[in-house]
Each structure stands twice: as structure tokens, then as C-alpha cells.
Structure 1
């Protein structure tokens, strides 16, 4: 078990902190700017450890990354229609809508860093007080990364003296081939969700849940991503909706060549799966040009635009009530 922290440049005289935590199973790198999940070195069936997370390079490019590679997204992930919740006006940063809490959201802030280490587990704590995202506040928040054996968990906490909103996620992109040897098309995906959320041309929910049975969106049994992507010209940028009574919900990704298997679990009501199929940005990831379908984003969160659909639940954060949400990642081999 080890923790190493170093200062790295963000350009223009600014620095951030790169945290490297390691045990016998995994090596995880985190960045204090945006509380990013930056790299995960996971072993294949032959014991070779390679990075399975897409990370923007160099680190200074995180400040201008609008695709949120590994970023903490908050206080509210996803799109808010017309950038409006009742009388609350938000920044419209995608068409007329608010995406991922806008340019002053948590992905673009420098977080304070602390950590705790014992003989068998490591906890890294990023802390931030949000006065500027545009959501009512202040919102006192922490992003807590916890590493034990082959498990990495991320817990998001939020508390505010006023009524506000809280629906964060991590926006990690995964490719289990290791070091981007291949794209994601041959990797095998399984999702324990029977429905997707119908959206309009701007990816705003219409209010309708569509069954996945007998469609390209049916991952209730494991299948190669290629099977679906061949039928979906625009790829996946889709909210998969879990049954209210399903308990802990799961996404599994598997790479047959390396044997790596990733299980992602949460009690959140939906997961956004994004295949980057229409990629047209000039971005460097892992010191390679980003290309279409090079990584799969797995974003557990409550349903997008939920304040406009109270019948689905709530993302309200009541005054002086601390709320916590956790995503679990298990990196294994078959």
C-alpha cells in the first residue's frame, strides 16, 4: 500500500496535485483539479498491469476538456431543459440547455486534498465549497475515493444551509484492452436495466420509458458493443433506467483478449452509457489522438432533467441534510 502526491502544472503559473495510490491489485491516479479519476492500472489474466481509463494529456488540458474524461460532474450531472428549474436560471452551455452544471461546475474547480492510509486500504478525500456553479448554496461537498483489494469506490457527499440540488457522478471512460490497444467495439457489455429514457434531438428526456427488449439497446444479457453500434448510427448516449425495486444496479464490461472484467454498481436510478461514436474533437488522451469509440463512459446518476419530472423522484438537497451517493468499481479477470 502506498500514497504518493506531486505537484503538476496546469499552465499559466497554476498547479494541481496528482495523487497515486497503489496496492497489490490496482494502481489509481487522481487529480485534485476536478477531483478527477485519471488513470487505473489493472492487471490482465497474465498479470500485466495496464491503464484502462482514458485520461486527457497533458494534465493541464483538463482545464479545457469539455468531454469530462474522468471528471467529477456536479452538483448536477446531465442536461437540464432550457437551463431552468422553476425560477432558478442556470448557465446554458449546450444549445439552450444546461449540461453538467456549466462552465463553473465541479469539473473545473481545484479541490482540497487529504488522505488516510492503513495496512489494507487507502482513502483519498477531495473537499470543495461551491459558491459559483449557479445552484443555490453554498454546497459543501466531498469526493471520497476508497481503495481496498480490487475494489475502488467513489462517494459523493453534499450539504447546504439552503434548498438546492445534488446529482453528481464520475464521468470516467473505460477501455479494458489496456493502453488503448483496440477500440471498444469488441468489448462485451451487460446492463441490468429493462428500459431506456426516450430523448429528443437535443438529448432532453421526453418523459417516456422505452423497453429495451428486442432492440439494439438490450444489454440485459451480455453482448459485444459492436452488435449494438452497427444498428445505431449515432452510437450510445443513452440513459438506461433501472427498476425501482432492483436494489443495487450493475453494469459489466468485459474484454475477452485481456480477460479484464469491470463491474460498476450503484443504487442510482439510471446510468448514462456514452460510446463517443460521433467524436469530432481534437483531444489527446493517454498521449494518443482521441478517436470514435475509443472509450465507453459509464455515468451512474439519478435520471437526467429529473426536476422537470417529479414523478420520477427528486434530486433536492434539503437544508442542513447531508446526502451521500456511492459508485463501486470492481476490476477483475476471467
Structure 2
């Protein structure tokens, strides 16, 4: 084989230079065909500007340069971060390569929120370290962002499945000044079509009753993979699947495995409660001079609509596909005299899920006779996941300066008492278990929500689980919220082989006050012909990093 001559080597050198010139342009052409736009040009910092973390320009590019076709950061010299002038919507794919020096640390600014690209020596979360290449080697990073939620892949390994970016859409992509030497190159971005059409509702058969009647299950889903499941027996919410800080989805409301388990009886897991949620003293009330006697199913009192309340009825359901939400509307007629209540009552409950990870429950009802009504949903929440244990470490905030003290049978005395200086005080976030032993039997109390004059829809509660990072806000039009810490929950109930127990969940039941029909100073629960009962509650889910 002939040995290469100088001419050959010189020719090869020209070829290499030519290839270096051709390949970037070829790459740009390929990007254009695939819809990607290149943000770095490999020559200078055109299109980029120096700024503080909030995007405010500083004009100081010290420490930032272009070396061998890559944006180079020398953190020992840099005093600013680097932002691109091109902004991007919450539906994009971002691809780039990065290379870290020894003990280097940097990240991306994504609409005001930091994503840690590399964090030496620990390399951030363990799964990042397992996916990352050693110092001095190039890494491939992809962020597939849909409605502000990113699926992130590092060198072919998925390291985040549902990572929420920030909310400042006025910012372009930012490169962080942190520690050591860092290089970025081949920074490309492609705008995706809106994912609003990924809202969906699907019907399936959950099971059959003893007489062969089908019970349907409606699954609502959004663009982020969040799902809510509602069955027609009891209009029951049997699942709300939301991500934790690592993107892992679990069901955060207590449920049972099968329809047969529900038919055997249960403590109202996720069911709609009516006609009257909570207690009515003496199982009777007077309306327009007429005394009505109700089913006494709680030691001489009435509770939750009776033994065969709305939680044991088969509701009629219709799916709804809206531009802004996936929904299912359920209807029920409660006949005159049902559990002793007057009037034919027509009830509609609508569950809807949007792309802001908000689950909304709307309640409406009409009657043909004067009656009383108080509807709620009796979901048991555990943000660590159903069956994961107790919720005593969950932090709870209640937007309530007062609560309703009760007698030994949990009937309100009529007093509205301040929470300040008592273990009932959750006006700032506190672990549920921090003072629960000071409350005989645990929490099972109605709180009076703070409402400004004329204010209808307002914050009721915030709940967060420090372990998973999951958060839930509850907003409502109702005047009260019953906080129940599942004090009597039995281990005869469970899901997936995991048994429940006392205080394995907390109920935040938005509602009117217990025994309002017998307490004239409480907000009225009377509904008359020609009027429409209308209330709604929103559960807003998020992640605390």
C-alpha cells in the first residue's frame, strides 16, 4: 500500500477544512427541513445578550465567547447570564449539546425557572449522573415541552417525564453562569402545534351490578398525562393521577379495586354526597311551618343523605369535549320524599379537567317544592399516593379564621369560634399531625371560610406533601369546608394489596354548614321552585421543587 505523500496530506487538510465548512451548513439545512431553528451560529454571539436571571440586560458579556464553534463560558470571569433574544411558546422541542469541565455547574433558564443541566460533582439527581457523560465529553440534551411541561432526555435516557417550566414567556432561552468551564453548541428549537386537542374523555365499562346493569367509567385526561376517573355509581371520583417532582404519576385519592368492592359498602370514597352532606340534628327540620322528618342514620340524627343517599345511586352520564377541558356530566333525579326530603330534585354534577391541571366539580339542582340541599364530594386525599401510609406529615393551610365547635355527637352548637391560639389553627401551613393529639378523636370539623363582602369564589385550602412535592389548592364558592382526617378508617379497605388505616387521608369537603336547616344564623340551604342551586369547587394540582 503506497505511503501518503505531502501532497496527499495537504489535500486531506483542504478536504477537512471544506468538510468543516460544509457540515454546519448541511446541518442547518437539515434543521430547516425538520422545522428546527438554530440559535447559535458557531462564529459569534449574535442574537444573544447578557442579563440577570430575570432577563434584565446588563450589557456585560465578559466570560462568554465562541471557541471552536461552541458558546464558551468561563464562570470565573462571567458576571451575567446569557439569553437569546428569540422568545418561545410553551409548546416546543429544544435540542442542544453541552460539555462540562471538571467541577463545572450550569443550567438553563426556561421561562424564568432553572433546569440544572450539570451539577458537579454530584451531577444533580442520581438519574442525571447515570445518564451524563464524564467531564470533557459532549452530551445530547432534548426538552420536549407541551403546554409548559417538559419531557427531558439526556444522552437517550429519560431523566424527567413531567417537569414544569416557568411562567415568564417574555424570556428567551437562557444559559446560566455558575461554576467552572462550560460549552454549548447546536442549540436548536422547534415550535410545536398547540397540544390543546390532547384533552380527552373516554368511556369504558367498570363493572355490572347484581341485576346486570352496567356501571360506566369515564376517564378524563389532559396534555400532561394527568387523569381523573369517574364512575356512574355514586358519581364517584375513583382516581386522580398527578405527577410528583420526579414526574411519577400516582393516584392521590383513596379508591377500591373493583365495582364489587364499592357495592359492598365503603366510607364514601370520592362519592357525591346528598341530598344533604353532613349532619342534621334530630333528623328533622321545619321549613315554611312544616316539619319534615328524615331518615335517622347517625345515632338519632341524619347524615349524608341517609343509608341510600346519592353515593348509592346510578347516575346517567354524558361525556363533553370542550376546547378548554375534558368533562363528564352526570344527572340524577331524587324523588319527592327521598329520605324524608320534600320535592322532586333534579341534580347535575359535572367533572372537568383542563390543561392547567385543574379538576373542577360543578353542582346544579332545581326543585318543584321548597327543600334544603347541601352537596359535596367526599374524596379522601393522600398526595403521597393512595395506600402509602398516613398523611400526618402533609402540610395544610386553611383560609379560615373560624370554625364550628360541636357537641359530643358532632352537631354544631351554633357558635362560630376563632381558631387563633388553638390546635384548630391552620391559617399558616402546618403538618396535619403536629397537634392532632390535642384534638379528641382527631379533626372532623367544619371551618368557616374567609370571604370578603360579595366574594363568591375563593381559596379554601392548600395541601402539600413534602416527600413527593405534590401540592393541591382547593378553591370554592361554598362558605365552609369540613376537614376530616379519616380517624375511623378501617384496614378492611385498601387498593392493590395495600391496606388503609386511620389518618391515611384527609377529606376537604367544601359545603354549607352542618345543621343549617336548624340554625337560622347559618347561611341558608333552602332551595325554592324557580331557583337554581349552583356551586363549584376547583382542585388545582402542582409540584413544589
**Normalized against structure 2, the TM-score is what?**
0.59
Q: Which one is further off, 241-250 or 186-195?
A: 241-250
State the Cα distance separating 1:147 from its structure 2 match.
Answer: 1.0
Map 1:44-193 to 2 at 5 A: 44-86=244-286, 87-131=291-335, 132-149=338-355, 150-193=357-400
Runs of 4+ in 1 over 4 A off after TM superposition: none
Using the alignment, how far apart are the partners of 1:153 and 1:133 within structure 2?
28
SS of the counterpart of 2:435? helix
**Cα pair 1:271 1:299 within 8 Å, conserved:** yes
**Cα pair 2:387 2:500 within 8 Å, conserved:** no
Aligned to 1:3: 201
State the Cα distance separating 1:321 from its structure 2 match.
Answer: 1.3
State the Cα distance separating 1:289 from its structure 2 match.
Answer: 2.1
Aligned to 2:233: 33
Using the alignment, how far apart are the partners of 1:292 and 1:331 within structure 2?
24
State the Cα distance separating 1:137 from its structure 2 match.
Answer: 1.8
Q: Is 1:252 aligned to 2:252, yes or no?
A: no
Q: Which one is further off, 253-262 or 223-232?
A: 223-232
When residues 122 and 279 of structure 1 are mapped into structure 2, their CA distance, relative to the original with a 3 A threshold, is closer
Q: Which one is further off, 22-31 or 184-193?
A: 22-31
Larger radius of gyration: 2
Map 1:272-283 to 2 at 5 A: 272-280=482-490, 282-283=492-493
Using the alignment, how far apart are the partners of 2:341 and 2:382 within structure 1?
33
Map 1:158-307 to 2 at 5 A: 158-245=365-452, 247=455, 248-280=458-490, 282-285=492-495, 287-307=497-517
SS of the counterpart of 1:303? coil
Q: Which one is further off, 175-184 or 71-80?
A: 175-184
State the Cα distance separating 1:50 from its structure 2 match.
Answer: 0.8
Deviations 1:111-163 (A, max 9, x none): 00101113541121001111134311210110011111111100110001111
Q: Which one is further off, 22-31 or 88-97?
A: 22-31
When residues 282 and 182 of structure 1 are mapped into structure 2, their CA distance, relative to the original with a 3 A threshold, is closer
Gaps of 5+ in 2: 1-198
Aligned to 1:18: 217
SS of the counterpart of 2:414? strand
State the Cα distance separating 1:5 from its structure 2 match.
Answer: 1.1
Using the alignment, how far apart are the partners of 1:286 and 1:325 within structure 2?
34
Q: Which one is further off, 264-273 or 13-22?
A: 13-22
**Normalized against structure 1, the TM-score is what?**
0.95
State the Cα distance separating 1:107 from its structure 2 match.
Answer: 0.9
**Cα pair 1:10 1:63 within 8 Å, conserved:** no
Aligned to 2:146: none
Count of paired positions? 334
**Cα pair 1:54 1:286 within 8 Å, conserved:** no
**Cα pair 2:476 2:536 within 8 Å, conserved:** yes
State the Cα distance separating 1:250 from its structure 2 match.
Answer: 1.5
State the Cα distance separating 1:278 from its structure 2 match.
Answer: 3.3
Using the alignment, how far apart are the partners of 2:423 and 2:475 within structure 1?
22
Using the alignment, how far apart are the partners of 1:66 and 1:96 within structure 2?
21
Q: Which one is further off, 161-170 or 228-237?
A: 228-237
**Cα pair 2:397 2:426 within 8 Å, conserved:** yes
State the Cα distance separating 1:267 from its structure 2 match.
Answer: 2.0
Q: Which one is further off, 289-298 or 62-71?
A: 62-71
Relative contact order higher in (CA < 8 Å, ≥ 6 apart): 1
Using the alignment, how far apart are the partners of 1:83 and 1:317 within structure 2?
19
SS of the counterpart of 1:62? helix
**Cα pair 1:179 1:286 within 8 Å, conserved:** no
Gaps of 5+ in 1: none
**Cα pair 2:460 2:474 within 8 Å, conserved:** yes
* Structure with the higher helix share, 1 or 2: 2
**Cα pair 1:189 1:251 within 8 Å, conserved:** yes
**Cα pair 1:151 1:328 within 8 Å, conserved:** yes
State the Cα distance separating 1:283 from its structure 2 match.
Answer: 2.2
**Cα pair 2:206 2:231 within 8 Å, conserved:** no
Q: Is 1:308 aligned to 2:518, yes or no?
A: yes
State the Cα distance separating 1:245 from its structure 2 match.
Answer: 2.6
